[in-house]
């Protein structure tokens, strides 16, 4: 059998496994590739441009929040009957984005998918930042942001406790747990790489800063042994956690009796949708990041191909849920439910519905073709479309159902205000800002993990 060329790992031959890293795969060059990004004095010019834009958008986000807090929730478009609108759409959207990180870092880890090592670090970072963005929306839309701590169960001088049977409180607990565990997982995995940055540091401040965060990691056998167990256990805990988080988000809707919301398939359907949108966001970020930072040897075309397959698969799962909901709306014989589904497709928000179907169901079907799975610009476009589609999905579920419920006399439309739009755009700014800072200052690829799954550890020339 022939040895695969060093720069190609797209083999589909069943007789061999594709390389995880193309080009030189020794530990030194992997370290060099990843560390050089943070060590060079200046990032690429594109980084500055992107940072300036996203920082400006972040500023806009905080300005909008400041205005919202100073003036009151009346500045949002939420109003009778669509009381839950834009902020919740954005919340569900962002928390969904976060799910791919845990999928890649925890679930694929449990499934021994070694290719995950190329992208898990920045998918995890994406999770943390997306959860941060998601958390903003429910917090600021409550009206009195300053008493948001009332959601926490602490002994207080009012003598009351939160209502633990409310899905909204489950949300609070689930999201904060998810945020905490994601950060722990991300940070734990990063400790050995931070130690690498510390050891390579030339300036004293880099040694001190990276040294502090590396916690004095030495890579001794005892440390690695416990590290691996902790990592495995965290993965085992994060896997059901990620399922539970979006399930809990879906409970917000599904425990109610509103047509279009009350459907038993919501939990797995929301989880699938979340992973779907998250994977699309990974591709959206990975395509530019790998070329901008010279990571094509570590985040290979194979990685993107795999991610696109995941997008296709989860797209089909989401399509399955759409189909079953439609079927059951008819089969169940509940006229309100049937109307809710019809209203989505033919009502005033039909544009959103059909755009959603086009983006979530039709566009990913292009990934059946290998050419589409491996053409960066094309997959980037599809991934962006999926992100748009998944945002619209939440919009359709929330706004279309609330706008037209049981009583025709209480029907109404939702129109976003400028503050709404600024907050959505600003949340992208915050997300990108955090991500750009991460790219600049932290190891974007899990070096120690990649080294552990490529030769010489596996004892054969770059193939495993």
Segment 213 to 232, residues that bind another protein, using CB under 8 A:
215-230, 232
Tokens of 233: 């256990």
Whole-Å CA distances, 437 to 50, 332, 440, 442, 443: 11, 51, 5, 8, 11
Residues 6-45 that bind another protein (CB under 8 A): 12-17, 26-28, 31
Residue 84: Cβ within 10 Å count: 18
Q: Which range binds another protein by CB under 8 A, 38-46, 121-129, 387-395, 451-459?
A: 451-459
Tokens of 326: 């439609």
Identity of the residue, 110 or 413, whose beta carbon is nearer to another protein in the bound complex = 110
* 8 A C-beta contact, residue 422 and residue 90: no
Residues 248-267 that bind another protein (CB under 8 A): 248, 251, 254-257, 262-267
Residues 92-151 that bind another protein (CB under 8 A): 110-112, 144, 146-147
The distance of closest approach from Cβ of residue 71 to another protein in the complex, given in angstroms and rounded to an integer, is 15
Measured over the CA atoms of residue 45, residue 50, residue 56 and residue 58, the dihedral's sign is negative
Task: Examine residue 203 and tell whether it contacts another protein (CB under 8 A).
Answer: no
Residues 158-187 that bind another protein (CB under 8 A): 158-167, 169-170, 173-174, 177, 180-181, 184-185
Identity of the residue, 237 or 362, whose beta carbon is nearer to another protein in the bound complex = 237
The distance of closest approach from Cβ of residue 48 to another protein in the complex, given in angstroms and rounded to an integer, is 29
- Residues 152-183, buried b or exposed e (16+ Cβ, 10 A)? eeeeeeeeeeeeeeebebbbbebbeebbebbe
Write the burial class of residue 264 (CB in 10 Å: 0-12 exposed, 13-18 middle, 19+ buried). exposed
Residues 365-394 that bind another protein (CB under 8 A): none
The distance of closest approach from Cβ of residue 20 to another protein in the complex, given in angstroms and rounded to an integer, is 13
Tokens of 98: 């976060």
The distance of closest approach from Cβ of residue 331 to another protein in the complex, given in angstroms and rounded to an integer, is 6
- Residues 4-34, buried b or exposed e (16+ Cβ, 10 A)? beeeebeeeeeeebbbbbbeebebeebbebb
Task: Examine residue 66 and tell whether it contacts another protein (CB under 8 A).
Answer: no
Residues 309-328 that bind another protein (CB under 8 A): 312-313, 316, 320-321, 324-325, 328
CA atoms within 13 A on the CB side of 249: 33
Q: Which of these, 275, 266, 246, 290, lies nearest to 102 by C-alpha position?
A: 275
Number of residues that bind another protein (CB under 8 A): 114
Identity of the residue, 6 or 191, whose beta carbon is nearer to another protein in the bound complex = 191
Residues 341-370 that bind another protein (CB under 8 A): none
Whole-Å CA distances, 116 to 35, 84, 295, 442: 19, 37, 14, 18
Identity of the residue, 17 or 440, whose beta carbon is nearer to another protein in the bound complex = 17
Name the CA radius of gyration of the chain, rounded: 23
Q: Which range binds another protein by CB under 8 A, 81-89, 236-244, 353-361, 419-427?
A: 236-244
The distance of closest approach from Cβ of residue 157 to another protein in the complex, given in angstroms and rounded to an integer, is 5
79 phi, psi to nearest 5 deg:
-165, 165
Identity of the residue, 159 or 408, whose beta carbon is nearer to another protein in the bound complex = 159
Interface pick for another protein out of 190, 238, 318, 400 (rule CB under 8 A): 238
Q: Which range binds another protein by CB under 8 A, 64-72, 92-100, 208-216, 418-426?
A: 208-216
């Amino acid at each position: 059998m022939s040895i695969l060329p060093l720069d190609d790992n797209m083999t589909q031959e069943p007789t061999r496994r594709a390389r995880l890293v193309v080009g030189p795969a020794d530990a030194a060059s992997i370290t060099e590739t990843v560390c050089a990004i943070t060590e060079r004095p200046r990032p690429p010019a594109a980084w500055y441009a992107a940072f300036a834009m996203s920082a400006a958008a972040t500023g806009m986000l905080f300005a909008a929040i400041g205005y919202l807090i100073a003036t009151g929730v009346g500045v949002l478009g939420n109003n009778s009957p669509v009381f839950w609108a834009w902020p919740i759409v954005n919340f569900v959207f962002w928390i969904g984005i976060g799910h791919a990180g845990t999928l890649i870092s925890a679930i694929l880890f449990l499934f021994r998918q070694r290719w995950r090592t190329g992208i898990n670090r920045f998918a995890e970072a994406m999770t943390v930042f997306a959860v941060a963005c998601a958390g903003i929306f429910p917090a600021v839309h409550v009206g009195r942001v300053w008493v948001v701590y009332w959601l926490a169960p602490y002994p207080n001088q009012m003598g009351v406790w939160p209502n633990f049977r409310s899905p909204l409180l489950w949300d609070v607990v689930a999201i904060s747990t998810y945020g905490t565990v994601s950060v722990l997982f991300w940070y734990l995995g990063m400790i050995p790489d931070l130690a690498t940055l510390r050891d390579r540091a030339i300036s004293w401040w880099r040694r001190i800063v990276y040294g502090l965060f590396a916690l004095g990691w030495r890579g001794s056998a005892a440390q690695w042994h416990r590290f691996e167990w902790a990592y495995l256990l965290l993965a085992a805990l994060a896997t059901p956690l990620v399922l539970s988080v979006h399930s809990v988000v879906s409970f917000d809707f599904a425990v109610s009796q509103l047509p279009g919301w009350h459907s038993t398939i919501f939990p797995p359907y929301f989880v699938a949708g979340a992973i779907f949108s998250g994977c699309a966001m990974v591709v959206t970020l990975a395509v530019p990041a790998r070329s901008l930072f010279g990571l094509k040897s570590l985040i290979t075309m194979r990685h993107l191909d795999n991610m696109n397959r995941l997008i296709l698969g989860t797209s089909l799962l989401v399509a399955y849920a759409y189909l079953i909901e439609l079927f059951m709306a008819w089969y169940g014989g509940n006229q309100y439910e049937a109307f809710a589904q019809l209203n989505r497709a033919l009502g005033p928000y039909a544009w959103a519905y059909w755009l959603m179907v086009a983006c979530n169901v039709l566009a990913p079907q292009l990934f059946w073709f290998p050419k589409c799975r491996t053409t960066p610009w094309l997959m980037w476009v599809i991934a962006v479309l999926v992100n748009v589609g998944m945002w619209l999905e939440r919009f359709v579920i929330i706004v279309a159902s609330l706008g037209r419920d049981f009583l025709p006399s209480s029907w109404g439309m939702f129109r976003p205000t400028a503050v709404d739009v600024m907050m959505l755009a600003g949340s992208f700014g915050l997300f990108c800002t955090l991500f750009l800072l991460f790219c600049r200052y932290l190891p974007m690829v899990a070096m120690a993990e990649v080294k552990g799954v490529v030769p010489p550890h596996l004892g054969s020339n770059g193939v495993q």
